[in-house]
Amino acid sequence: MENSQEPIGPVDASVVPRFAGIATFARLPRLDEVARADIAVVGVPFDSGVSYRPGARFGPAHVRESSRLLRPYNPVQDVSPFAHQQVADAGDIAANPFNIDEAVGQIEAGARHLSTDGTKLVVIGGDHTIALPLLRVAAEQHGPVAVLHFDAHLDTWDTYFGAPITHGTPFRRASEEGLIDMEHSLHVGIRGPLYDRQDLRDDERLGFAIIASHEIEREGLQSAIDRMLTRLGDRPVYLSVDIDVLDPAHAPGTGTPEAGGMTSRELLAMLRELRNVNLVGADIVEVAPAYDHAQLTGVAAAHVAYEIISALAPDEER
């Protein structure tokens, strides 16, 4: 960490109750309250690329509210993720809700601005459209990245209603633009009906391997973890988590739910294995609070972000 000052952590819950105060992620300081951040949690409240149920534009605020119970020590990873790295809430990148092309440009510019000093971004969407501009910035800084994509869906389709940039197309565009490492990218949790067998052929051609949801059930979690780590190797990794990778029982608040998904416990276990991976950025997308109940989806997404931040903790914390 480059900071000489002690990191500023979450608000003390013994002084200010968790249900009080401004809802920054995990009650962390705002970016303008710290000298600089090693990790910035930033929202992108944009969902104009959805093909079914809208509402993910309200995801960042919902996940922040759902993160109030997060605490400073992660016992499973044996790390205090806010103690030796400065983590701050950078607010939201505003994007035009009426023009996808302009919005993508705004998201790209906002992400570039926030990460020019080496700050790593953990982005809360928003729909999966936002992964394309975020990958452009990541590849600009690190070269083609290994994309680790947790999702029920491939998101490598070509167009929807003739539109080339939507929440179902970001990884096809990213592959075509040379942003991804085509030997090390991976989907995890894929399930549900496809349009045609050709979808799988196209996906492989675009550079992705697949660990499907039914394979996790059949072969076990450890096998999935081993396959994931082997595929990623030592490459720079960009992580993209669509919350619909979880079964609707665990994450009902999303736009395109599919039965037969991962449990939250399985997802968090896989994310914890990224602590020795060269993780350069991440997003959590498709949280749609209008369909959520009792913050089930919001809490799951908040814990996903927490495990990612924990995995990014410096080596001296381990």
Q: Is the pLDDT of residue 68 over 60?
A: yes
Mean pLDDT of the chain: 96
| Signed CA dihedral, 90, 97, 111, 53: sign only | positive
The pLDDT of residue 10: 93
Question: Which residue is it, tokens 């996903």?
Answer: 304
Question: Across residues 169-185, what is the average pLDDT?
Answer: 98
Q: Is the pLDDT of residue 23 over 90?
A: yes
The pLDDT of residue 251: 98
Question: Across residues 153-165, what is the average pLDDT?
Answer: 96
Q: Is the pLDDT of residue 309 over 50?
A: yes
Q: 241: phi > 0 → left, psi -120 to 50 → alpha, else beta; which?
A: beta
Q: Is the pLDDT of residue 128 over 70?
A: yes
The pLDDT of residue 1: 44
Please report the domains of the chain, with CATH numbers, ordered by start residue: 25-317 (3.40.800.10)
Question: Across residues 267-295, what is the average pLDDT?
Answer: 97
The pLDDT of residue 4: 57
The pLDDT of residue 267: 98
Q: Is the pLDDT of residue 69 over 50?
A: yes
The pLDDT of residue 12: 86
The pLDDT of residue 157: 96
The pTM for the full model equals 0.96
Q: Is the pLDDT of residue 3 over 60?
A: no
The strand order across the sheet containing 279-285 reads 87-92, 39-44, 120-125, 279-285, 237-242, 146-150, 185-190, 208-212
Q: Is the pLDDT of residue 162 over 90?
A: yes
The pLDDT of residue 176: 98
Q: Is the pLDDT of residue 101 over 80?
A: yes
Question: Across residues 176-190, what is the average pLDDT?
Answer: 98
pLDDT tens-digit profile of 222-265?
A: 999 999 999 999 999 999 999 999 999 999 999 999 999 999 99
